[in-house]
Amino acid sequence: MSLSKKYLTSIADLDEKEIMNLISQAIDFKRNKDSSKYNKSLTGKTLALMFEKPSTRTRLSFETAMFQLGGNTIYFNFNDLQLSRGESIQDTAKTISLYADCLVARVYSHNTIVELAQNCKIPVINGLSDLFHPCQILADLMTILEHKNRFKGLTLAWIGDGNNVCNDLLIGCAKMGITIRAAIPEGYEPPRKILELVTHESKLKKSDFMIVREPIDAVENADIVVTDTFVSIGKENEDNKRRSAFIPKYQVNRELMSSSKDDAIFMHCLPAKRGEEVTSDVIDGENSLVWDEAENRLHVQKSLLVSLLV
């Protein structure tokens, strides 16, 4: 399969059919992870990883994906590049395009991703920016489909900060027809343009979207409960302010989960601050799918790379 755009800056770049095709292909990669079916899919291809932020899952999953598909990976952080000495993003993008077949960038400012996508002659994948995290949301949607066998008719509760993961998750769920109830404190909502897009997509799919202030109003009878750290990378200077805004009211604990459906699943992109946004008995509980999500990063990224490069 191929994608209509040769970049992925946000889940908004994909339509419903493309998301489903990527997930279906990822499920096949997962089923055949120990076979030789795909081990030469990207032979001769080089993936550049350009990281401004620290990473565990994104770096490991992309490097492993390329290795298992027969390709090669080059990793560098911003301090390794002439960017740190004043070279422009535009010139850097054009240079990387000469040597690599695809670029994954993990950056502070989403504007950097946009500039890279505009100036690279190779596919560019957003490995996380301050606004979006599309690879994580593809893994989340794959995990939901694996365990719920559908999207339409489900209700997802987001609890916490309107951050980059929240932004793309709301967009992705709206595109797939999932009803969304997001419990977010006043002043921490996603940007207006994102809320308008989510509202528009929800209306097209005849699902509902609402922001509430009380976590119980979001979680009641929900099929899926999702949270993330209250202090994202780059927000450390707001640590005390954010803790007072979110803790303990927006913590996902056993009491809050008891208001969701009996078979509700809990999800978190990781890393988790145990005892802050989620308690250990929830993240380690039988309804938690955090490790499925983490594994599925590998499979959806294989699917994405093959779709962009083959």
Q: Among all residues, which ones are annotated catalytic?
A: 106, 133, 136, 228, 269, 297
Each residue of 177-204: b (16+ CB within 10 Å) or e?
bbbbbbbbbeebebeeebbebbbebbee
Q: CB-based contacts of 286: which residues, under 8 Å, 6+ apart?
A: none
| Preceding peptide of 248 cis, ω within 30° | yes
The pairing of strands 46-51 and 7-8 is unpaired
Secondary structure of 53-95 as H, E, C letters: CCCCHHHHHHHHHHHHCCCEEEEEEHHHCHHHHCCCHHHHHHH
Helix extents (H) in the chain? 16-31, 57-68, 89-99, 110-119, 134-148, 164-175, 192-204, 215-219, 239-246, 254-257, 280-283, 290-309
Torsion angle of the four alpha carbons 250, 253, 254, 257, in this order, in degrees rounded to the nearest 10: 40
**Cα dist. 45→60, 67, 71, 72, 113 in Å?**
18, 10, 5, 6, 21
Count CA atoms closer than 13 A to 242's CA, side-chain side.
21
3-class state of residue 268 by DSSP: strand
Give the pair of three-digit tokens for residue 296: 């599925």
Determine contact, residues 3/308, Cβ cutoff 8 Å: yes
Interatomic CA distance for residues 156 and 159, integer angstroms: 10
Instruction: Report which DSSP code applies to 250.
Output: T
